[in-house]
Chains A and B, each alone.
Chain A
Amino acid sequence: MERKRTPLWALHKQHGARLIDFGGWDMPVAYATGTLKEHKAVREAVGLFDVSHMGEVYLRGPRVREAVEQLTTNACAAATPGKAVYTLLCRPSGGVVDDCIFYKRSDTEFFVIVNASNTAKDLEWFREHTHSLCEIEDVSDATALIAVQGPKAVALVDRLAGGTLTGLTSFTFADAVIAGVPCVAARTGYTGEDGFELACANADAPRLWTALVEAGGLPIGLGARDTLRLESRLPLYGNDLDDDHTPLEAALGWAVKLDREFLGAAALRAQKQRGLERQLVGFRIPDEARAIARHGYAVVDRALGTGEAAVIGTVTSGGPGITVGGAIGLAYVPVARAAAGTQLTIDCRGKDIVATVVSGKFYKRT
């Protein structure tokens, strides 16, 4: 099947991008610069990400708040207009349908950005569970999304917006005109750095991208997006989140407000009362070990036996800690092994590698 292209595809080709299949989209995994340098550029200056493959949906209507209240684990419906709220969408079982951000425009209108690979599933989920309480408009195919991230990102975007975005704080958004292009500008991101995510019409995207490049933004591929988000311990749906794990197990309890009723609330309350059996933890492997524990590798306890008998957990994400050194990752393990400082043994392609559980983010900006 022909891969889908974002409106910036031709510019990526021109810029020397290596394009790969990303959930049916032909997306830049890295430019000629390479992932390591791209990662550092975002930590030290400012990078640009084409994330137009993500899905965008409007939910509207006089009763839209009731629908949003049902769909979301976090308090999105009650938020102040102009707030962006990270939330999970849960099944009645507590398993995760997707993680996404709800942008509350008003009491009658929400804008939602969802994961590219889940767009179709989420739309179906919205249709099934909003019970005609609101109108659903999928604008994914008409909307481009550009993330501008790094310590110099806010100043860069604000300059191109004529100083109109200065007052926008973290997890708020506003309609803006940036380099002459009408956008929704949100002070959000997926890198652990400060910055904006800018949604605009497809036709305007090349003009906005070019202006951002000319103002000093370096194009960054999805390879660095993954290493950046992992260092900041931001979960990735399909790796760290899925139908089989709850937000409580994924250490996202802060985004679950259990004093409300919503899809999955009963199951999550019961799980909380029962206590967790397994938990997503962060781990580090020292540089000297020269090993990376990747998605799908088994966490083992050799005292329990060999083969399947020894498996006590699974690595869900792993890669080099480009800013923090060594290798880092996330794994689901029994709660008894989840405390910071606990040593885990990970089977890295037949070789046992010792990792140490760490709490908090691997990288935190200063």
Chain B
Amino acid sequence: MSSYPTDLRYTSDHEWLRSAGTAWRVGITQFAVNQLGDITIVELPKVGATVTKGESFGTIESVKSVSELFAPVSGRVTAVNAALDGSPELINDEPYAGGWMIEIEPSHKAELEELLSPDAYTAHVAAAE
């Protein structure tokens, strides 16, 4: 039903990645946002932190629940969206723009190959619905 931006890569955990120089910007998809409802608190790592693919790099709390955020690739955090601290609703309002979370400089380039294409992600969501 929904369509997902074609210039992004995705994970089966409903995160998106956008190439940003040597780093990749990470956020969560509209599907994830719809599932979570209104987001009230986001806890993110600090710049310089190391994250490991598949492991938690932070948490996201909606009115009703708290969920882990899983790193889509391994690497070093090169930027964090400070605006989310005071305005977590940016994730609801513009998940692919102002609602981005962190940027990661990948340490294992091969992991990028495992990300889903827009078509593959769309199929993944359709199967979940």
B61 at the interface (CB under 8 A from A): yes
- Which B40-60 residues have a C-beta within 8 angstroms of A? 40-41, 43, 59
CB-defined contacts of A29 to chain B, threshold 8 Å: 37, 64
Given the interface pairs A294-B66, A349-B59, the reply to whether A18 lies near B37 with Cβ below 8 Å is yes
A92 to chain B, nearest CB (A): 36
**B118 → chain A, closest Cβ, in Å?**
24
Q: Which of A30-38, A60-68, A207-215 is near enough to bind chain B?
A: A30-38
**Taking the complex as formed, is A189 at the interface, i.e. its CB lies under 8 A from any CB of chain B?**
no
Q: Which residue of A lies closest to B62 (CB)?
A: A35
Q: Say whether A320 contacts B66, CB under 8 Å.
A: no
Task: Choose among B34, B37, B61 the residue that contacts A223 (Cβ–Cβ < 8 A).
Answer: B37
Q: How far is the CA of A223 from the CA of B39 in the complex (A)?
A: 13
Is residue A157 contacting chain B, with contact meaning CB distance below 8 A? no
Residues 1 to 42 of chain A near chain B (Cβ within 8 Å)? 18, 29-30, 34-36
User: CB distance A290 to B43 under 8 Å?
Assistant: yes
Q: Which of B34, B59, B64 has the most CB of A within 10 A?
A: B64
A35 and B66 contact, CB distance less than 8 A = no
**Complex contacts, A227 vs chain B, CB 8 Å:** 63
**In the bound complex, how far is the Cα of B66 from the Cα of A349, in angstroms?**
10
Given A34-B92, A290-B43, A290-B85, A320 and B37 contact (CB-CB distance below 8 Å): no
Q: Are B63 and A223 closer than 8 Å at their CB atoms? A: yes
0/1 string, A315-336, CB within 8 A of B gives 1? 0000110100000000000000
Number of interface residues of B (CB under 8 A): 14
CB pair A35–B63 under 8 Å, yes or no, is: yes
In the complex, A209 Cα to B37 Cα: how many Å?
A: 24
Q: Say yes or no: A36-B34 contact (C-beta < 8 A), given A290-B85, A320-B40.
A: no
Chain A hits for B43, CB < 8 A: 290
The reply to whether the CB of B13 lies closer than 8 angstroms to some CB of chain A is no
A292 contacts B37, C-beta separation under 8 Å? no
Assembly CA distance A349 to B40 (angstroms): 17
Assess the B41–A292 pair: CB atoms within 8 A. yes
CB contact between A319 and one of B34, B63, B89, B92 (< 8 Å): that residue: B63
A291 within 8 A of B: yes
Given contacts A35-B38, A35-B63, A291-B41, 12 further A-B contacts (CB under 8 A): A29-B37, A34-B37, A35-B37, A36-B38, A36-B63, A223-B64, A227-B63, A292-B40, A292-B61, A319-B63, A319-B64, A349-B59
Q: Which 10 A-B pairs have the closest CB atoms?
A: A36-B38, A35-B63, A34-B38, A35-B38, A320-B40, A290-B41, A30-B37, A35-B37, A223-B64, A223-B63
The interface of chain B, by Cβ under 8 A from chain A, is 34, 37-38, 40-41, 43, 59, 61, 63-64, 66, 85, 89, 92
